[in-house]
Structure 1
Amino acid sequence: MNPTGVGIIGPGSWASISHVPVIAASPAFELRAVSTSRRSSAEAASARYGVPGFDDARDLIARPDVDLVVVAAQVTQHLEVISAALRAGKAVYSEWPLGNGLAEAEQLAELARTSGLRTVVGLQGRYAPQVQHARDLIHQGYLGRVLGTTMVGSGMVWGAEVASHSQAYWFDDSKGANTLTSATMHALDPFHHVLGELDTASANLVVGRREATVTEDGSRIAVTAPDQVAIIGTLASGAAASVFYRGGTSRGDNFRWEINGTDGDLVLTAAWGNMQVAQLALSGGRGTDTTVAPIEIPAAYTDDVPADLAPTPAANVARLYDQLARDIAEGTRTVPDFEHALRRHRFIEAMRRSSADGTAQRLS
């Protein structure tokens, strides 16, 4: 098959270390164009990647050799550029979150639904080998019946400082990318992938730090987005669940996820709290074991990523692209799409309601 032509809108720091090297390593995809918000950066990206560069996303979308539009721009730009791409008949891979709030996500999901076009959302954490192996072990009965689970993590950003004013939007709740919508949901998607959906849940969303320092000039900015996210609930299976995500980092554990059952325990840990890019370690114990021990991940879970990408933040992105290539070749739709993203946005809205009025939300 001919490779799928890809155009990237917003080939900044994240896309440059994830999408670009993954596309370069895959025979199923080929980078055809890039688009940024300024002429100077578009020319720089064009020279760097050896493809045409544009300062107007519509020019990239209009190219006949671009089959898949990757949207890696700020969330506040998603509605406009994704809508334009879908209306132009292009498949779209949107970074998470899909939209700036539920209303935008609903609009984009409806547009994708009526167009029938292939869509992808960048919730790649579920493809981590440790997550996939843990899921299979549970299905094989390693834990017996799951009794409960506890996940604690750090957002790594959203702490006391932010490097530049260009990143300050993370702290503004109106901009759509914060500890709840980004770090927590990137972890909750694999959480649900492994254990199933939450049936009921309640949340406490707290703005712990009211100000942050912009290190490039020492100025202070107001923090309006919640940086302390506590969720407690019950899974559809009946198991108890607790999730806590903090903004910034911890001097303790930045990621720890325990899953406890009648016959055993599984523990996933990482030094980095953003689960979708973390180098995870899986441990387990069962039966007469008195502690958990490292579980070796079979090669079948890891041999689908080039060796130079495996230890990088691009690894799970590569696995998502690999599954997308299979979907395109086989006519299937298994990767997280805009309908999936809409369900996650509805969860976010439910947790906001819960925190505001103090009530548990039924999610099923």
Structure 2
Amino acid sequence: MPSSPQSPVRVGIVGLSARRGWASLGHLPALRQLDGFEVRALSASSAESARRAAETYGVPHSFGTAAELAASDEVDLVVVTVKVPDHREIIEAALAEGKAVFSEWPLGTGLAEAEELTALAAGRGLRTFTGLQARSAPVVRYLRDLVADGYVGEVLSTSLVASGRGWGADFPEGAAYLLDRATGANMLTIPFGHTLDGLTSVLGDVETVSAVTATRRRELKDRTGTVHRPDVADQIVLGGVLTSGAVASVHYRGGMSRGTNFQWEINGTDGDLIVTGDHGHLQMGEYTIAGANASSGAELTQLPVPDRYFDPALEAVRGTQAYNVGAAYAQIRRDLADGTSVVPDFAHATRHHRLLDRIERATV
């Protein structure tokens, strides 16, 4: 890591392609708004692809493999933005080189991989970070403070219904891996997993679990006419009790609804909060909060997120998919400077994998 708190963190991004993708839409724009980071290297699917991407984005160094990037003296932090099945090999290479790692969520294809990677990082004493950026979103941080400050009184229950956006009838070409349970990338781990982590950051951990999952769309055609038979759930219902004693219910449906695509209610002894949005990916969507309590009256009123929850350094990407990623990076810089661990690390990711594993095992 940097030799002094004032030195920039030199970043190498695995999976930054000139053909666009999450790294170019989220990570790169966020990093370029923040002091304290320099994107020094990238790797892609081949040396030629990496060279083109480096020219496109003005990145000084390009590598054909993630292992070469991890070995570079130009890189302090390896950022992993590729498909989940490739995470393990890349992260192992980075940790072997003594590099800090920021991996997109899910950390691994399942609990076992996450546990192994967490143990490996801990054994080497290396800093790790996981892209569960819903908890970095201003709307989620404000909601957490409203609840903590007693806006609703004691939380009695919470209910959330949302659309997964993917895993519906509209199936894009090239997304077949999202229908294969073995890849670890599905509706349970991605939109449901991101959102559940945001929910627990506001209301506390899930203590008891019951669940129902189903695959209601048994055959899907992509735009080429190819038929796919998914073995992942497109309906997920979680019922549980939080550590506070509050009762929780969460229902995710594949695809999009003509009605509600995201509504999250928090009901308490003294008031209610309702979060609505455009889809069930809390880590990247647009959401608003309304509330009413004993002091404000019976009518719900909009509760705009105060400006203090937004980082002025990220104003250029406010309202884009890059903002929450940028907020996570800004906190990573503070974590590295102060020795704190606010951004989820691999140990946190493993605990979250363990919760999702409990949900799968509890299904009826």
TM range (shorter): over 0.9
Residue of structure 2 equivalent to 1:329 = 337
Say what the alpha-carbon RMSD is for the aligned residues: 1.2
Question: Which ranges of structure 2 fall in alignment gaps of 5 or more residues?
Answer: 1-5
| CA distance in structure 1 between the aligned counterparts of 2:31 and 2:136, rounded to whole angstroms | 17
Preserved CA contact (<8 Å) 2:311 2:327: no
Q: Secondary structure at the match of 1:47?
A: helix
Shift of 1:212: 1.7
Shift of 1:253: 1.5
| CA distance in structure 2 between the aligned counterparts of 1:303 and 1:122, rounded to whole angstroms | 18
Residue of structure 1 equivalent to 2:237 = 230
- For these two proteins, the number of residue pairs brought into alignment is 354
Residue of structure 2 equivalent to 1:20 = 28
Preserved CA contact (<8 Å) 1:153 1:255: yes
Shift of 1:304: 4.0
| CA distance in structure 2 between the aligned counterparts of 1:177 and 1:142, rounded to whole angstroms | 36
| Cα deviation code 1:245-265 (max 9, x no counterpart) | 111111111111000001100
Preserved CA contact (<8 Å) 2:238 2:249: yes
Residue of structure 1 equivalent to 2:179 = 171
The answer to whether residue 16 in structure 2 is matched with residue 8 in structure 1 is no
Counterpart residue identity of residue 156, structure 1 = R
| CA distance in structure 2 between the aligned counterparts of 1:205 and 1:344, rounded to whole angstroms | 18
The answer to whether residue 347 in structure 2 is matched with residue 339 in structure 1 is yes
Counterpart residue identity of residue 202, structure 1 = S
Question: Which ranges of structure 1 fall in alignment gaps of 5 or more residues?
Answer: 359-364
| Cα deviation code 1:239-285 (max 9, x no counterpart) | 11000111111111111100000110001111122110011101100
| CA distance in structure 2 between the aligned counterparts of 1:158 and 1:55, rounded to whole angstroms | 32
Residue of structure 2 equivalent to 1:98 = 107
Counterpart among 282, 288, 293 of residue 275 in structure 1: 282
- TM-score (normalizing by structure 1): 0.95
Residue of structure 2 equivalent to 1:212 = 220
Counterpart among 44, 51, 55 of residue 43 in structure 1: 51
- TM-score (normalizing by structure 2): 0.95
Q: Secondary structure at the match of 2:139?
A: helix
| CA distance in structure 2 between the aligned counterparts of 1:282 and 1:305, rounded to whole angstroms | 24
Query: Could you list the runs of 4 or more consecutive aligned residues of structure 1 that deviate by over 3 angstroms after TM superposition?
Result: none
Shift of 1:310: 0.6
Q: Secondary structure at the match of 1:201?
A: strand
Residue of structure 2 equivalent to 1:361 = none
| CA distance in structure 1 between the aligned counterparts of 2:204 and 2:312, rounded to whole angstroms | 25
Counterpart among 169, 176, 182 of residue 190 in structure 2: 182
| CA distance in structure 2 between the aligned counterparts of 1:331 and 1:148, rounded to whole angstroms | 35
Counterpart among 120, 143, 148 of residue 152 in structure 2: 143
Counterpart residue identity of residue 249, structure 1 = M
Residue of structure 1 equivalent to 2:251 = 244
Counterpart among 249, 257, 260 of residue 264 in structure 2: 257
Counterpart residue identity of residue 94, structure 1 = S
Preserved CA contact (<8 Å) 1:101 1:345: yes
| CA distance in structure 2 between the aligned counterparts of 1:127 and 1:23, rounded to whole angstroms | 15
| CA distance in structure 2 between the aligned counterparts of 1:28 and 1:18, rounded to whole angstroms | 17
**Counterparts in 2 of 1:113-124, with a 5 A limit?**
113-124=122-133
Q: Secondary structure at the match of 2:160?
A: strand
| CA distance in structure 2 between the aligned counterparts of 1:115 and 1:129, rounded to whole angstroms | 33
Q: Secondary structure at the match of 1:18?
A: helix
Residue of structure 2 equivalent to 1:160 = 169
Counterpart residue identity of residue 248, structure 1 = G
Shift of 1:305: 4.6
